[in-house]
Structure 1
């Protein structure tokens, strides 16, 4: 009982999480809307698409999606953020360079609440909240979508990790909801959804901790309906409208030329080492730091003889997604050096975020071991004194 009173947090009596959530949301509300849109990619991709939707009055072909003059603008990208920003401008009655950014704040709100579902008065949670959202820095403020992809990817593996430990159906459904939301933000979100799904299947096979029947009992009609609602926009856009309007991805993935480029770059002895260097050891990339922290935590966990599987989906997701990015860079039709310099720090955010999510579970387990060890020691001292 003493252990429970000291170390188990009662969310119903603690006001600190609500105050912290309110502070973070207010902070990001003002910082997101303080500056106008000025970064090139946000202005020329998501918020250009938003202005096209706003001008046309709806998401239709009359907005000009297949016009040759804007094919450089990644017109095949999902349209959740552009649609939200266009709707906000429609409500406002005019377009400016500030109001559309409110869509970023709306997407941030669920993420903050999900992060605080892991709240505890421990170092592990402090570590988590310092990284998410604060460690993502300007990538949540300036209109780039990579910060949100990394944030929601981390949340999905965090929720899956907690599901593996506590078996709460709400964590599984929430994780799938995160993945469905990701698929509507950017093409990489679709890839992340597939990768995380594969990682949870691999984890289940390796650990033999759950069966297919366990998943089936969680998916009632209304839960399936909820997931269908949030994933349907991605399916409609990717399967129907993109092909109907002949919108293609500029990476040319799946073409013969892409496979030839991948083969040539892999075998030339220069390109592949360059990709590894620029992705893993780039000055602005935190992958090597996140990997080092994760590795040290794993070693500490092993020495402590504590064994958990909550961190496994995060590690598998990071590895598979990194391999996918290596393949994409090998296939890119753009100049490789230019492509790496302009995208590597952003694309690696998801890798480092997943590694940090895995580290959180390890730190939490180590904290538990220290707490139990201290409690047992105090118990023995009490018995000796008696």
Structure 2
């Protein structure tokens, strides 16, 4: 039997990778692109190699194996999709050529959403710098490697190897090609689940483990906010419901969690100040959101169209399971928080589509499936946490009866 609260080699390696990624971003933010960012990249690779020591743990073995397979697919598959080529890889190539994290703030190529955070493009550009030339395969695959730290930390939140295996399978099933073709929505989903998993860890643990959980949560939340704009919304929802869960469970305010969340928002705040200083915006925020929302809201057919598009990928199945097991869901902090974050984020997506300045059918057809990935993965994680803890509790009860 292993201890849930003991940080194993995989968890420490995951935190090391996250710190390395954030250091890479911090160096670039201060204009130190070049050797400092490349050293941070190499440090992340070293931590990834360190995680191989955790292969003896069945939970982490699943995650390492899945990421290894995804890396093979990422290295063997170029992408011709619009968003990867015209936003993420385009920004990465500009950073690679011009050597600045802020190169997109000149608002060149407005179609590429220049207000989007630059962490993932910077990571891809640093990968290209390390090998000495630009192509559209290796930098894209380098991003796939960043799935490893959140998956290792998700595995740590589970009690059984088979639950971790099911999570790994669900990540691949839900994320699919979005994990290897340069889209960021799959990363958003995985990091949101990992942040929630760390934020809802029980307090019954030693101080060393408690500090580790807070550090891991802060690092995950910081990366989550810097993946794309929607990451900030998910980070806020995770923080709100994790804090509420902590208050209900422990009858006290989890000030450490609040402080970790506040710290995680600082890199995003710095980026948003840079964006505001460059007078950049986006098509949604600069449109008549209220007018578009009020115009569509009375038309029930449009609301039904949005819900159908968001739930067409079987997200309703885990939702029904969780609602059917409401009593047990409510008694399991991680499952309860995941359900509430998923439903709240679904509400945010619903409001965004109702207020979109674009043609609704076109907007849904081009984005609904992938932006709903966090909803699907959060709901599936909640179901698997229930199964994991239910089976573990049953096993402990049986063992207790036999011992008596």
TM-score where L is the length of structure 1 = 0.81
8 A contact 1:124–1:364 mirrored in 2 = yes
Does structure 1 residue 140 correspond to structure 2 residue 179? yes
Q: Secondary structure at the match of 2:200?
A: helix
Runs ≥4 in structure 1, deviation > 6 angstroms?
Answer: 7-14
8 A contact 1:164–1:310 mirrored in 2 = no
How far off is 1:22 after superposition? 4.2
2:255 corresponds in structure 1 to 215
Q: Distance in 2 between matches of 1:132 and 1:150?
A: 9
2:340 corresponds in structure 1 to 316
Report Cα offsets for 1:90-113 as digits up to 9, x if no partner. 233322121211331332221232
8 A contact 2:63–2:148 mirrored in 1 = no
Q: Distance in 2 between matches of 1:345 and 1:296?
A: 25
1:103 corresponds in structure 2 to 142
How far off is 1:128 after superposition? 2.0
Q: Distance in 2 between matches of 1:113 and 1:42?
A: 26
How far off is 1:148 after superposition? 0.3
8 A contact 1:76–1:249 mirrored in 2 = yes
Unaligned 5+ residue runs, structure 1? 381-386
Report Cα offsets for 1:164-212 as digits up to 9, x if no partner. 675834223322321111111100001111111221233344x252423
| RMSD of equivalent CA atoms | 3.1
Does structure 1 residue 261 correspond to structure 2 residue 302? no
8 A contact 2:174–2:373 mirrored in 1 = no
Q: Secondary structure at the match of 1:270?
A: helix
2:12 corresponds in structure 1 to none
Does structure 1 residue 50 correspond to structure 2 residue 92? yes
Change (3 A) 1:354 1:181: same
1:273 corresponds in structure 2 to 304
* 171-180 vs 340-349, which moves further: 171-180
Change (3 A) 1:166 1:308: farther
8 A contact 1:9–1:120 mirrored in 2 = no
1:351 corresponds in structure 2 to 375
Report Cα offsets for 1:305-329 as digits up to 9, x if no partner. x933332211221121111111111
Unaligned 5+ residue runs, structure 2? 10-53
Q: Distance in 2 between matches of 1:188 and 1:143?
A: 16
Report Cα offsets for 1:343-379 as digits up to 9, x if no partner. 1111111011111222232112311332134224434
Change (3 A) 1:148 1:216: closer
1:15 corresponds in structure 2 to 56
How far off is 1:37 after superposition? 2.9
Q: Distance in 2 between matches of 1:99 and 1:11?
A: 30
1:384 corresponds in structure 2 to none
2:124 corresponds in structure 1 to 85
Q: Secondary structure at the match of 1:171?
A: helix
Whose radius of gyration is greater, 1 or 2? Answer: 1
1:76 corresponds in structure 2 to 115
Q: Distance in 2 between matches of 1:144 and 1:288?
A: 24
Q: 1:65 aligns with which of 99, 106, 123?
A: 106
